[in-house]
Chain A
C-alpha cells in the first residue's frame, strides 16, 4: 500500500508518496538519491546506515519509511554547510585519519553527531558506547575515537585525563 508522508529532510520540508514496505534506507538512497548513507548488513548489526531521527541515532535499514511521517531526518549530507564547508566532526575525521576506506564513515560521523548534540562533553567511554553499533572493518577505531574526542568539549577542557567512572560506567566486573 502507498501513503503520503510529510517530514523534514536535512532541514527541508518534504511531502511524498511512499510504499509501506520501504525502509527508511530505501527511501533515502533509492528514492531521494542520497547515497551517503550506506547499506552494510541490512540487519542492524553494522551501523553503516545510521541516520538521525528527531535527535536519535537509528539504523535506517530497520526503520520503516512510514515511521518518518511528521519527524525530522538528518543524513550525512545534512552536516556540511550549503557552501561545502565541512562540519567540525567531518573535519576532525579528515585531520585525525579517522577515514580509511570510508564505508563506515557516514554512520560513524552521524553516531558522533547524535552523541555530541546530546552530550557535547562526551568522554572516551561515552564515545565508545555511542559508536559500539558502528563497525569499521579497516579497524581504524583508535583514530575514529581520537577524531570524535578532538571535537568533544570534554577533551578540550581536560586533555589526557581518564574520566572517573561513575556507577553508570561500571561494568560490574
Chain B
C-alpha cells in the first residue's frame, strides 16, 4: 500500500489542529474499511491519515434518561449498535439495518459515522436514523453545530461537512409512547451486498393502539440521497393503521421517490417494491408497537 503517516489524536481539538496543519494532504480515518480500500485502489492518496478511533468518547449507544434522547457516537462500530440491548429493545429499526451491513468482520471495525459521511444513496445506517428524526452533531475549528441528519446528505458522496469538520454523534429525540419501527434492506442476498432498496417505517399510535399519531417513512436508493416520504407520512396521520392504509401510503411513497435504473435494479421494479415494503414494514412496526405496549415497555 502507498506510504502515509498515521496520526493518532486523543481529542477532537487535536484532530482538527492536525487537519489544519496538513490540509489537503490529510484524510480522516475511523474504522478504515472504506478509506483503506480507496487508498489501495488509488482513489485516495493522503500523506497523512488522522485516526478518529482513539478520540475519547462513548463506545456504545446510550440513553440520556432525563431527555429521553438516544446518543449514537460516530466512532461506535456497527457491531456495538447491533449487540446493544438498548437498541434491540427500543430502536429495532436501527438493529434491522446494522445487522445486515457487510459481514461480522466489517461490522467489528466499521463505524456508523463512516457509513454516514460516505453519503452513498444506499447507506443502510442512514435510513433508520433519518426515520428516527436524528440530528447530526458536527465539530470543527469554529465549534459545534447541529443539523437534521436528513439535511446532512447533499448528494451522492456529498455531505454537509466543511473542510476539517468531524461528525461526532447522532442524537435521536425521545420516542413517543406506543412507537414501533422496522427497516428492510431489499436485495438479492443479505450479506456483503448493497441494497437495491432500503425502507424504514416508524409508527407512533394513539392510546386506542390503532390510530396513527405520527409516521416516519424513509427510503434509501430511491433518490440521490436518503429521503423521507413526507406525503406518505401525512397520509397516515390520523388514520387507522392497517394493511389498506399502509398500502395507500406505500403507493404515495413510490410516487414520491426518484428511483432510477441501475446495475442493481430497474426503476419500475423499485417503485413497485417501495409500495410493497412500506406496507410490510408498516405492519411490522405496528406489531412491534403493540408488543411493546403489551409488555409495558413503552418507549421512555
Contact A64-B109, Cβ < 8 Å, known A42-B40, A168-B95: no
> CA A146 – CA B190 in complex, angstroms?
21
Main secondary structure of the interface of B (DSSP, over half): mixed
CB contacts (< 8 Å) of B99 on chain A: these are: 168
Contact with A47, one of B88, B103, B108 (Cβ below 8 angstroms): B103
CB contacts (< 8 Å) of B102 on chain A: these are: 44, 133
Question: Does the CB pair B104–A172 fall under 8 Å?
Answer: no
CB contacts (< 8 Å) of A20 on chain B: these are: 3-6, 49
Main secondary structure of the interface of A (DSSP, over half): mixed
Asked whether A167 is an interface residue with its Cβ less than 8 Å from the other chain, the reply is yes
Report A134 CB to chain B, min CB distance, Å.
8
- Which residues in chain B, 1-59, are within 8 Å of chain A measured between CB atoms? 1-6, 8, 32-33, 36-37, 40-41, 49, 53
CB contacts (< 8 Å) of B281 on chain A: these are: 172
Contact A130-B104, Cβ < 8 Å, known A19-B3, A173-B184: yes
Report A85 CB to chain B, min CB distance, Å.
27
> CA A9 – CA B240 in complex, angstroms?
60
Report B198 CB to chain A, min CB distance, Å.
11
Contact A132-B109, Cβ < 8 Å, known A42-B40, A44-B33, A62-B32: no
Report A17 CB to chain B, min CB distance, Å.
14
Question: Does the CB pair B3–A21 fall under 8 Å?
Answer: yes
- Which residues in chain A, 111-144, are within 8 Å of chain B measured between CB atoms? 111, 114-115, 129-130, 132-134
**Interface segment, one of A50-58, A88-96, A150-158:** A50-58
Contact with A133, one of B88, B182, B191, B280 (Cβ below 8 angstroms): B191
> CA A54 – CA B8 in complex, angstroms?
19
Contact with A50, one of B6, B95, B105 (Cβ below 8 angstroms): B105
Question: Does the CB pair A167–B92 fall under 8 Å?
Answer: yes
Contact A21-B4, Cβ < 8 Å, known A58-B105, A62-B36: yes
> CA A3 – CA B8 in complex, angstroms?
12
Starting from the known contacts A44-B106, A47-B105, 14 additional A-B residue pairs (CB-CB under 8 Å) come to A19-B3, A20-B6, A21-B4, A26-B1, A43-B41, A58-B109, A59-B109, A64-B36, A133-B191, A134-B103, A168-B88, A171-B190, A172-B280, A172-B281
